[in-house]
Amino acid sequence: MSNGELGRLIQSLREDMREDLGQLNSRLDKVVQVEVYNIEKTTIAERVAALETQREKDAERILATRRWMIGVVITVVAVLLPYLTAIVTGAKA
């Protein structure tokens, strides 16, 4: 192998290394830092916890509303039942 061929091989190797390092640098620019990832993960976990808490509160509120509505219906029926019975009985007589 001559010195010229050896020089061309070394130059080719340098170009390949530059291309590889350039690709590696471009990929590293896209990588998220660990600190940023941890902060985002913590933030998402806090948001999920807050949403779960809110969902539980909403479920309790809906249940309380249903109970209230059932209570109102039972009260209305209990109040109106004697009057309806009297009207039906009076109409038969």
Confidence of residue 13 (pLDDT cuts 50, 70, 90): very high
Is 63 within the bounds of a domain? no
**Structural domain of 7:** 1-31
Confidence of residue 12 (pLDDT cuts 50, 70, 90): very high
The number of domains in the chain is 1
Is 21 within the bounds of a domain? yes
Is 13 within the bounds of a domain? yes
Q: What is the pLDDT of residues 23-43, one digit of tens each?
A: 888 888 777 788 888 999 999
Q: What is the pLDDT of residues 58-93, one digit of tens each?
A: 999 999 999 999 999 999 999 999 888 888 888 665
pLDDT, mean of residues 40-67 = 97
Distance CA 19, CA 5 (A): 21
Q: What angle do CA 26, 29, 30 make, to 5 degrees?
A: 100
Residue 81: its pLDDT value, please?
92
Distance CA 87, CA 30 (A): 81
Q: What angle do CA 21, 23, 25 make, to 5 degrees?
A: 65
